[in-house]
Structures are given as C-alpha cells and as structure tokens.
Structure 1
C-alpha cells in the first residue's frame, strides 16, 4: 500500500531532480524555490528512510535507493498522467508513441518504419521522435518518458535492467570525400589517418568507445583538429567540403557511398560492427501501438539489404 504521507509533489520533485541532476535546475523547472525543493526531497527521504541523492562534482547523482525508486516512480506517474488525460479528453485526441532514436538508425531504418506505421499502424497514434546519445535516451526510457529506444547501444552501461532485442549488426566506417588524398589507398596505414582532421562522435557515447578502442589498437593519438558531433547532415556537409575523415555508421552514408560522393577508406575501424536493436522498459504498461511499431521495425530490419538478423 502506498504510504499516505507520500504526495504527488514529492514524486514530481524527485523525478525532476533525477532528470536535471541539480536541485537548482529542478526547482526552476517546477517554479519553486531551491530551499523548497530541498525540503520536499528531504521529506521524501525521511518518509522512505533512505537517502535518494548524493552530491558529486557534477551536481547530484542517484543512490542505489534512488535508482530503485526511479525505476518505479517514472512509469507510475506517466501512467497516471495518461489516465487523467484520457478522462479529461473523454478518450478523444491523438495518442502518442515516444521513440528515442540514435544516429545509427536515422537514415534508413527509422524513416521507413515510420512511413509503414503511418500507413498501416493503429489509427490516431502519433509518433514523437527524440534523438540524442544513448545515455540520455536510455535514462528517459527508464523514467518512463520514452516507450522505446532504437539504435546501436549494446555497449551502453545504462542498459542494465532494460530489455534489448538485437536486429542486425552495423559497422562504423571511416569515410572521406571522393578525390580525398587517402581515397583508394588500400591497404591504408592507420598512422596516415592522423594527418587529416577527424569528425567523430562525442565523448561518453558508445560509438566513441569504438573509436577510442581503434586508436588504442593502432597506438594512435587523435589529431588536434576535431569536430565532435552526432549530427549526420553536419558531418556529411563538412566531409564533402574538406579533407576531413568522418567516423560514421554505415547506414547513414550508404546512399552517398553508392553514388560515389563518399568513399570508405581502406582501413577497418571494427570487424563485425555493433548490434543495432530495440530497447524497452519492461516496467511500462505495454500497448498495441508499441507492439505494432516494434514489429514494423523488425520487418524493415529484415528487409534491409545486408542485414544480419
């Protein structure tokens, strides 16, 4: 039975501090004072007889007790909000499927899945797509703010108790513009790469982990001229107009490679590639819309040329 002393404001404050990793930012988002926010969290900790947050150099972090509460409080509050919305709207209006998308699936898999879902999926269901690094998206999935995360994320520590379903493997490539000094050099010595600027995923992403492993294997130091981004349009634009080397998922550049506007370099960043798949939160209430979209994603993955299922 829910402790009668725990109020909705306690849980809302807890989730916002967990989301912002800062009492000050959470207080600002909820339009209350910082002392008021601290008091609310302290009340909740006293009721639960457990410490929920600990202070770090970067703000606040969840304790083990806080992580346990987060797993349950996020989905519960979301279900409550949806129920209130359904009653208030008399069951009318669009329902939403909230999907987190990593850059590995933004070019082919996800666009085709959305197109098929809109054509053949449940009526009256809209799709809201949020992009970003895996840590950000998986934390939102754990809080119940997303229904699903799609992409390459098996290396992500944040998966933990979330459920991952493999769809296919995809390699990270090293690509350059056609006519680049290194284009067509095969085999290409790895040390030749550092003479040119690099475009690569930001630190603390699963894709960057593969880049770092490649550099360790080949005893390379990253060049001084770097562009760190997950933006596919930005990466492609800079690569096509410069001598930069772009570290990018194969799906994102398949069309440009086929058109010979971009060229894969003659050195392999990784052998097999990473596992691209679906990540869900088993503590969330399942829905027909989510089941339908996941099935469409499986079909599109199976239809993708060269996919290994």
Structure 2
C-alpha cells in the first residue's frame, strides 16, 4: 500500500496532540485552533486511513487499537522530520541527545558496547543515562522524562500502557570469589544457608526470578542477606568476603572468563529473563533515541545468535 499523498503534516500534528492531551478541546487550545477545526482534521485523516483512530466521549478522546498502531509510527515520523529541519538550521554537526533509563541487568556488557558503537558512528551524540529500579524508571518514561528504558521489567505493574520490545534472554547464576569454601564439592542446601547471600532488591523483576530459582531447587535463602541493585557494591562485597551472589550473567561474564569469579553451581543457571527496550508510544522519539533503538536491536540480535559478548 502506497502512502496517500493527501496525508499532510497538519493531520499528523493534530492526531499526535489529541493522543497526548486525550481531549479535542485541550488539543485545540494547545495548537491554537478551534475545536471544530481539530474535529474536521481528524475526520479527514480517518477517512484517508480508512480507520477510526479515537473513541470520542464525555471523558475525552481515547485511542482505538488502530489509533495505537498508527501512533507507533506517526510520532517518530514527525520527530524525525523536526530533527531533520533543525539539523539544517543549526549545521550538519549539531548534537543529538537521548535519555536512557538502565536497569542493573544491562550495565555490565550490553550498554558499554551500545555506547561504543553509537559514538563510533555519530559525530555528535550526548547520552544521558539514569539507573535505578524499574518502577522509578518506567514512571519517568511515562511522563516523558526518559526516552527509553532498557533491562528486565516485564513483571513490573508500571509497564502497563507502555511498549516492550524483547532483545534477548539473560540468565542468573550463583557466583563466589576464587577459593571460596563451597567450591569444588556438591552444593549442599544446609551449607549454602550459612553464607551471606547477595540478592537483587525485593520487589524487582530480577528478584522474583531469583526467588523462584531458589524455590525450584529446594534451597533456602540465608538470614544474612545484602539486597541491592548496585553491581559495584555486590562485586566488591563478594570479592572481600565469603558471600554468594545471585548475579545477572552480563554483570559477571567477563570476571568469570578471567578467573576473578567462579560459578558455584553451573547446573542452577536460571533459564533467562527477557531483557528488552521499553518506550512510550504516545511521545515522539528524538533522532538520538532512534539511533539508540537501532544499536540496541543490533547488539540484542548478536546476543541471541551467540556472536556477542
């Protein structure tokens, strides 16, 4: 199907504003036009597309399934055009930017490689990275404070109404420092319980997977626990103690290869939770955020194929 040349930029702007405001009246105020003009423009767009984009009612205008589908493309299209115009106005090497929310699961290997490739390919890109629990990052994504959130978050209630794109599965594994007393012999549940345990923070998606793994294998969690999403704190504590760390494989893969950490029980490797990109389809992405999406997908495909890391 060819793009109908009768679809104009004003149709897209009108559609996006109504989607963002949830009301024809508020959209009209925002665009400084009359409400009948907004209604007429929407009607034209719906006729051109052959689909109803909004359900109108006393509570405002809610996107239909067709409207949600169209929103995924209309927002990036308008933003890309704006970015293109701005690049011509301010010069070829004007900086683009992207704001990423990053969960601890991707800090170790995925994100550094993504940043390396982005800076290698784009001469002026500023990446702002915020870390934290999924609930906090997704709430920032919802209100437009972040462009994308990357990590494990599929079980978070805050993901409702947002768009999640799977990249790859990443397992959890039990690791300890070299020379740990539990290494070199069969894992014993009673012995494991005597050592401090490092776990992800309670209530997070990755913690639910860790808890499930313990239950599946009949293991009990130690009463001595460090619960944190900080990879740096977890790594340093394990290195200086006899603690056992339930770690995302990305965070420890390099140290395992170098012999700086050891897997305690490789047979307990968790099947792998879904790592992916979460976005807010109701808000347009900047050009820099589009670049991030492209490289995240590229590296994610290499993960799935076993090419990287």
TM score, norm. by length of structure 1: 0.67
Question: What are the residue-to-residue correspondences of 1:44-123 with 2, within 5 Å?
Answer: 94-121=95-122, 123=123
Deviations 1:100-149 (Å, cap 9, x if unpaired)?
A: 1111111111111111111213x433110000111111111111111001
Distance in 2, matches of 1:168 and 1:192, equals: 34
Alignment match, 2:140: 140
Between the two proteins, the alignment pairs up a number of residues equal to: 234
Distance in 2, matches of 1:286 and 1:96, equals: 10
Q: Choose 1 or 2 for highest CA Rg.
A: 2
Distance in 1, matches of 2:307 and 2:200, equals: 23
Distance in 1, matches of 2:184 and 2:131, equals: 34
Tell me if 1:237 matches 2:199.
no
Question: What are the residue-to-residue correspondences of 1:274-285 with 2, within 5 Å?
Answer: 274-285=273-284
Task: For residue 3 of structure 1, report the CA deviation from its aligned partner.
Answer: 4.8
Distance in 2, matches of 1:3 and 1:299, equals: 40
1:269–1:140 distance in 2 versus 1, CA, 3 Å: farther
Task: For residue 218 of structure 1, report the CA deviation from its aligned partner.
Answer: 4.4
1:242–1:114 distance in 2 versus 1, CA, 3 Å: same
Alignment match, 1:249: 248
Asked if the contact 2:114–2:295 (Cα under 8 Å) also holds between the matched residues in 1, the reply is yes
Distance in 1, matches of 2:267 and 2:201, equals: 20
Alignment match, 1:12: none
Distance in 2, matches of 1:284 and 1:273, equals: 30
Asked if the contact 1:190–1:218 (Cα under 8 Å) also holds between the matched residues in 2, the reply is no
Alignment match, 1:260: 259
Distance in 2, matches of 1:159 and 1:244, equals: 33
Question: What are the residue-to-residue correspondences of 1:181-192 with 2, within 5 Å?
Answer: 181-186=181-186, 188-192=187-191
Mark the runs of 5 or more structure 2 residues left unpaired by the alignment. Answer: 1-23, 31-57, 60-74
Task: For residue 219 of structure 1, report the CA deviation from its aligned partner.
Answer: 4.8
1:245–1:145 distance in 2 versus 1, CA, 3 Å: same
Which segment is superposed worse, 110-119 or 90-99?
Answer: 90-99
Distance in 2, matches of 1:272 and 1:136, equals: 26
Name the SS of the counterpart of 2:210 in structure 1: helix
Name the SS of the counterpart of 1:207 in structure 2: helix
Question: What are the residue-to-residue correspondences of 1:124-135 with 2, within 5 Å?
Answer: 124-135=124-135
Distance in 2, matches of 1:190 and 1:299, equals: 41
Distance in 2, matches of 1:181 and 1:219, equals: 21
Task: For residue 95 of structure 1, report the CA deviation from its aligned partner.
Answer: 3.9
Asked if the contact 2:193–2:220 (Cα under 8 Å) also holds between the matched residues in 1, the reply is yes
TM score, norm. by length of structure 2: 0.67
Alignment match, 1:180: 180
Report the RMSD for the aligned CA atoms in angstroms: 3.2
Task: For residue 278 of structure 1, report the CA deviation from its aligned partner.
Answer: 0.8
Task: For residue 191 of structure 1, report the CA deviation from its aligned partner.
Answer: 3.7
Name the SS of the counterpart of 1:195 in structure 2: coil
